[in-house]
């Protein structure tokens, strides 16, 4: 049975009042949704809160879910919209100091924990990672969304076209342009 068929069965169970079926869907997709949201929100705690809010919205809207798209595609749209709404609300909020000194160590990079990493390799890896993330963040929203769905979420071009509500040719073009922009930023590091 295909993953989308399993999801559809779970959705139908939820629509009939089975809350445990929704718990299964949450556990199945929570990691992917949180990873997706962290592309829009840099604070891991905020990303978890936004993911929870997105799942609550999905649960409330599930009775109206008609199955015209895959559950994950539908959930993806809800999560992205919730993250965008959060960012808009953040822009309206006055700037402040949200990170406590005691919590600063939680935001330390984890890439340095690998045994095989020499200081030089770790430094270059960190620099490449930072450059790629900055290049992705600098992309226009449509390019950033397309490349994130393809490279991070592993979605097919067809799934991306459905999620972004545009033709596959547009998706291919956006991914190509995003890759070009990222390559341009990485070229000086790799030469």
H or E segment and range at residue 176: helix 168-190
Q: How far apart are CA 34 and CA 80, in angstroms?
A: 10
What is the per-residue pLDDT across 102-154, written as a single tens digit (0 to 9) for each? 555 554 444 444 444 467 766 777 788 888 888 888 999 999 999 988 888 88
What is the per-residue pLDDT across 19-28, written as a single tens digit (0 to 9) for each? 899 999 999 9
At 115 the pLDDT is 45
**Among 5-14, 76-85, 120-129, whose mean pLDDT is lowest?**
120-129
What domains can you pick out in the chain, each with its CATH number?
Answer: 3-92 (1.10.1740.10), 112-190 (1.10.10.10)
pLDDT band at 166 (very low <50, low <70, confident <90, very high): very high
Q: Measured at the alpha carbon of residue 130, what is the angle toward residues 166 and 178, in degrees to the nearest 5?
A: 25
Q: What is the DSSP letter of 112?
A: G
Q: What average pLDDT does this structure show over 59-83?
A: 89
pLDDT band at 94 (very low <50, low <70, confident <90, very high): low
What is the per-residue pLDDT across 48-60, written as a single tens digit (0 to 9) for each? 999 999 999 999 9
Choose among 42, 41, 7: nearest CA to 26: 7
Q: How far apart are CA 187 and CA 77, in angstroms?
A: 33
Alpha carbon 59 to its chain centroid, in Å, reads: 19
Alpha carbon separation from 109 to 74, 122, 153, 168, 169 (Å, rounded): 32, 11, 22, 36, 37
66 pLDDT above the threshold of 80: yes
């Amino acid at each position: 049975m295909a993953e989308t068929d399993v999801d559809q069965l779970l959705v139908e169970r939820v629509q009939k009042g089975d809350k445990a079926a929704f718990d299964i869907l949450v556990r199945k997709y929570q990691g992917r949704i949180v990873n997706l949201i962290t592309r829009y929100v840099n604070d891991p705690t905020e990303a978890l809160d936004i993911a929870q809010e997105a799942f609550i919205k999905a649960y409330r809207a599930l009775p109206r879910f008609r199955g015209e798209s895959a559950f994950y595609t539908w959930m993806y749209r809800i999560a992205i919209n919730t993250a965008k709404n959060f960012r808009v609300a953040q822009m309206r909020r006055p700037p402040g100091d949200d990170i406590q000194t005691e919590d600063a160590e939680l935001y330390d990079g984890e890439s340095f924990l690998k045994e095989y990493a020499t200081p030089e390799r770790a430094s270059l890896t960190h620099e490449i990672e930072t450059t790629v993330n900055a290049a992705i963040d600098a992309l226009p929203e449509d390019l950033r969304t397309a490349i994130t769905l393809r490279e991070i979420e592993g979605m097919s071009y067809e799934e991306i076209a459905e999620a972004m509500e545009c033709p596959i040719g547009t998706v291919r073009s956006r991914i190509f342009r995003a890759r070009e922009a990222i390559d341009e930023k990485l070229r000086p590091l790799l030469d």
